[in-house]
Amino acid sequence: MSYRPDPHLLPSDITPREYYYDRRRFMQMAAGATAASLLPAPLWAGDKLAAGKSQAYTLSEEQTPYKDVAGYNNFYEFGTGKDDPAQNAHSLKTRPWTVTIEGEVHKPKTWDIDELLKLAAMEERVYRLRCVEAWSMVVPWIGYPLAELIKQAEPTGNAKFVEFISLHDPMQMPGQRSAVLEWPYNEGLRMDEAMHPLTLLTFGLYGEMLPNQNGAPIRVVVPWKYGFKSAKSIVKIRFTEQQPITSWMKAGPSEYGFYSNVNPEVDHPRWTQAKERRIGDFLKRPTLPFNGYADEVAGLYTGMDLKTYF
């Protein structure tokens, strides 16, 4: 069956517009928080995940409350509404779970999730999260650098990119029964991006295992890029010589580029990226280049025109 994206379900159509950020929005968020308190406990209270607090990767900014981090999500596998993942993700079974490493590597392997949990020391890192839809959060993630897993795979000299493929199971993920995206969801990074110390292989947040709606049991977090670059519920990591065509590139090639670095000077075709709204705030704040991580990552793009390679 051929894939035909549904233009009525692109992010610009389901994302709150400017007028949404008035008293109505705060009333809706309050209603959502009330509804969240009635959700089944497994979606809101996960198993504890021990981790040391990083001194190098932290922020002085106020962290977004757990209920908002776990209750306001984009995870189209469970629906296109912001509260759909928290309501529907109870159907996801995160045990057993394996992640297959394949492609241009010397050591392909299928890892059990419990093996991955023990691969390297866990640490809590407080990162900004910036959505392409111009809202943001501050989240204390738990994990270790993706580079730790990549080193185990021993990429070949042909490995230029890393592709992440999420679970495809419409029985567990009811949003996959729609054609909002071509399934399974896939994302990708250039090898130097994937190896960067900021790129986190993530298993938890707020001292607990990831809630299902936040990408359990394993996701990546790439804090200088828009949130959709951080693939969730990963089952396969593939090393390739050619740049992968990611899910959002397929759905909107003129709107969602491969790099998708946070850039206040490059607007989405239908909304500005110059400012953002931190969840819980009323007023907007300026968007920071590379989401505030320019000192760490700007050098990866020396000589590139970031308006062309958006």
Q: Which amino acid is at 233?
A: S
The answer to whether the beta carbons of residues 258 and 246 sit under 8 Å apart is yes
In the chain, the amino acid numbered 310 is: F
Give the tokens for residue 121: 């020391």
Q: How many CB atoms lie within 10 A of CB 9?
A: 15
**What are the structure tokens assigned to 67, written together?**
């209920």
Give tens-digit pLDDT for 56-91: 999 999 999 999 999 999 999 999 999 999 999 999
Tokens standing for residue 125: 């890192």
> What pLDDT shows up at residue 4?
42
- For residue 127, say whether it is annotated as part of any ligand binding site: no
Residue 231, marked binder: yes
Q: Check: CATH 1.10.10.60 for 48-301? A: no
pLDDT (tens digit per residue) in 3-46: 444 444 444 344 343 333 344 444 444 444 444 444 433 334 46
Whose tokens are 């009323």? That residue is 282
Q: Report whether 74 belongs to an annotated binding site.
A: no
What's the maximum distance between 2 C-alpha atoms anywhere in the chain?
A: 56
- Measure the CA–CA gap between 13 and 16, rounded to whole angstroms: 8
Known binder of ligand: residue 166?
Answer: yes
Give percent of the chain with pLDDT exceeding 70. Answer: 85
**Residue 46: what pLDDT?**
63
pLDDT digits (tens, 9 = 90+) for 86-145: 999 999 999 999 999 999 999 999 999 999 999 999 999 999 999 999 999 999 999 999
What would the mean pLDDT of 218-231 be, rounded to a whole number?
98
CA distance 128 to 92: 26
pLDDT value of residue 144: 98
Q: Is the pLDDT of residue 289 over 80?
A: yes
Question: Which range, of 10-14, 241-245, 300-304, averages the lowest pLDDT?
Answer: 10-14
Q: Tell me whether residue 230 is annotated as binding.
A: yes
Q: Are 203 and 218 in contact (CB under 8 A)?
A: yes
pLDDT on residue 152? 98
Domain limits, the chain: 48-301
Q: Is 255 annotated among the ligand-binding residues?
A: no
DSSP string, 88-155: HGGG---SS-EEEEEESBSS-EEEEHHHHHTSS--EEEEEEEE-TTSEEEEEEEEEEEHHHHHHHH-B
HEC string of 137-167 equals EEEEEEEEEHHHHHHHHCECCCCCEEEEEEC
Please tell me whether residue 232 adopts helix, strand or coil conformation: coil
Annotated binding residue 263 = no
Of 98, 204, 203, 111, the residue nearest 150 (C-alpha): 111
Render pLDDT for 144-202 as a digit per residue (tens, 0 to 9). 999 999 999 999 999 999 999 999 999 999 999 999 999 999 999 999 999 999 999 99
Please check whether residue 222 is in contact with residue 147, taking contact to mean a CB–CB distance below 8 angstroms.
no
Q: Give the closest residue to 71 by CA, choosing from 62, 61, 81.
A: 81
Say what percent of the chain tops pLDDT 90: 85
- Identify the CA nearest to 229 among candidates 264, 270, 200: 200
Summarize the confidence of residues 203-218 as an average pLDDT.
98
Q: Which two tokens stand for residue 228?
A: 């959709």
301 is in an annotated binding site: no
